[in-house]
A and B are shown apart, each in its own frame.
Chain A
Amino acid sequence: MSVLQVQGLNASYRKNKVLHDVSFEVGQGSLTSIVGPNGAGKSTLLKVMLELHPKLSGDVSFFGSSLSKTKTRVGYVPQRGSVDWDFPTDALDVVMMGLYGRVGWLKRPNKSHKEKAMASLEQMGMADFAGRQISQLSGGQQQRVFLARALVQDADLYFMDEPLAGVDAATERAIMTTLKDLKTAGKTVMVVHHDLQTVEDYFDHVLLLNRTVIAHGKTEEAFTKDHVYRAYGGTLRWMKEA
């Protein structure tokens, strides 16, 4: 069953057209990396699908329905740099935000919500930092807090924008373990990823993007030298060395 269906998506960012006729389908339980050079439209693709950025044309359907009807089933982890970490709040409070939709607007979260948020922090190995001011966390810890906030949403489909960017090895391992656990639990995950070296180890599906879909499918089929070259326009050095 396809969890996500994208058909003929076009979008522009400022004056430039960044997404051109993007179409693909994602099956349940897959762990897909979205890979492409800078400016390929990876983040824009996520934002357009989530209706955070307007599209010019095309259709996106989640679980065979519209986003507005399936909002609670879709989780989003924005780029770490998209928020101001100086904001006066602590790690637990940020994770609690993932539950606001379920708590209900204008209602106050109760004890069971707090326990859920704590469990989620624990899962990311961040239980000791629950009361820590978020500006006092390292980049990797901030990323784990974002992941914990997404986990607590208990969504069926997750979009993550560069969760592995600029994190230390321990955080990278913790995040990848979590992603694999999600997959085992039958969840679907799409991750914007920048490290070509780890694509084959980490992800079972890959979407090579450079304004349009260059290749999409199982990693061993889609992540070929030829496709990567086409996506990166021959500016890539590591492939020659390999």
Chain B
Amino acid sequence: MLNSLLSPNTQWVLLSTLILGMAAGMIGCLAYWKRQSLMSDALSHAALPGVVIAFALTGSKNLLVMILGAAVSALIGAWMIQWIRSSSRIKEDTAMGMILSVFFGLGIMLLTIVNRTAGGNQSGLDNFIFGQAASMVRKDVFTMLILAVLVILVVSIGFKEWKLFLFDPDFARGLGLNSRLMNSLYMGVLVLVIVIGIQAVGVILMAAMLIIPAVSARYWTQSFRTMVILSAVFGGGSGFIGTLISTLGKGWPTGPFIVVASSVLFTVSLVFGAEKGLLIQAMQLRSQKKDHTESSNQAVIKPQLSERGNHQ
């Protein structure tokens, strides 16, 4: 019904943010259990200079070229975080904070220069900051779709291996699972999902697509498989809803609406979640208190009964 009102292009954009959200939700679960949620934020910010440089060098807004630039830039950022951590006293969280701000600052600086020289804001590069899904053309949508499906496949096919790698990497190595390969693959899919998402969601908010669905899913399940599936559903759902709302107004950025949509899902999970949700915890505590008072009442009655027995 609603779809008939939307243009075919909007339908394609909606499909692409849906699939992107699913891929990001799945990768978010990997990052969550690798304790690297913040890493995704650092990497998405680190992608910005690459996008601008790729545009400046080629002079065209070809998404594949931009994605390539973003990936190179994000990987340099990742490598620098590792390098700072291993060769200095600086801890990983600080290193991520440094790289995040330095790369983002550099990206904004380059963006300003390119915008000035390439004829005002004609380049449309600003869209990469907050995301503008509606600005994507059909070819961009296809590029994004194919890569997102690829990411989903990588996680699904090696599901058992990912679980082992995340739960107990030492044991995994002992079994002969190539940890270097798994680490590279992890970094590869993480960067891939970030760079394909930045045009639609923007570098600032891309990390939210990875982090929020995963933590929301955590409130509903005690099975890793279900967590990944739920996270994909939450990510895809908020991607779809956020994009839908952003198409209602002209020039409304997509990223913020997606983040707000997924935050609503998170709040619902936090309160109503079946596993350690606030409501269920309160209810459990209440029923335990009730049981406790009932059983202590019985404990008071029992000795009275036995006393009576002694008298007889």
Contacts and interface: CB of A to CB of B under 8 A. Distances in A.
A74 interface: yes
Contact of B168 (A97, A108, A133): A97
Contacts of A105: 158, 161, 177
Contacts of A149: 171
B61 interface: no
A76 interface: yes
A87 interface: yes
Residue in B157, B167, B171, B173 with the greatest tally of chain A CB atoms within 10 Å:
B171
Interface in B179-213: none
A88 B231 CA distance: 13
Contacts of A47: 170
Interface stretch (B9-17, B40-48, B222-230, B263-271): B222-230
A18 B263 CA distance: 49
Contacts of A100: 160-161, 164, 175, 177
Interface in A23-52: 47, 50-52
A217 to B, nearest CB: 27
Contacts of B164: 97, 100
B87 to A, nearest CB: 13
B83 interface: no
A76 B174 contact: yes
A74 B222 contact: no
Given A78-B170, A106-B158, A89 B176 contact: no
Given A87-B166, A89-B163, A108-B160, A133 B171 contact: no
Contacts of B174: 50, 52, 71, 74-76
Size class of B's contact patch?
20 to 34
Residue in B33, B168, B174 with the greatest tally of chain A CB atoms within 10 Å:
B174
Contacts of B158: 105-106
B170 A88 contact: no
Interface residues of A, number: 30
B184 to A, nearest CB: 16
B221 A88 contact: yes
Interface string B46-65: 00000000000000000000
Interface string A75-111: 1101000111001111000100110110101101100
A108 B159 CA distance: 9
Contact of B157 (A84, A89, A103, A106): A106
A55 to B, nearest CB: 15
A98 B226 CA distance: 22
Contacts of B175: 71, 97-98, 100-101
30 contacts: A50-B174, A52-B174, A68-B176, A71-B176, A74-B174, A75-B174, A76-B171, A78-B168, A78-B171, A82-B170, A83-B168, A84-B167, A88-B222, A88-B223, A88-B224, A89-B163, A89-B222, A97-B163, A97-B164, A97-B171, A98-B175, A100-B161, A100-B164, A100-B175, A100-B177, A101-B176, A106-B161, A108-B160, A133-B222, A149-B171
Given A52-B170, A97-B175, 6 more contacts: A87-B166, A88-B221, A89-B167, A101-B176, A106-B160, A149-B171
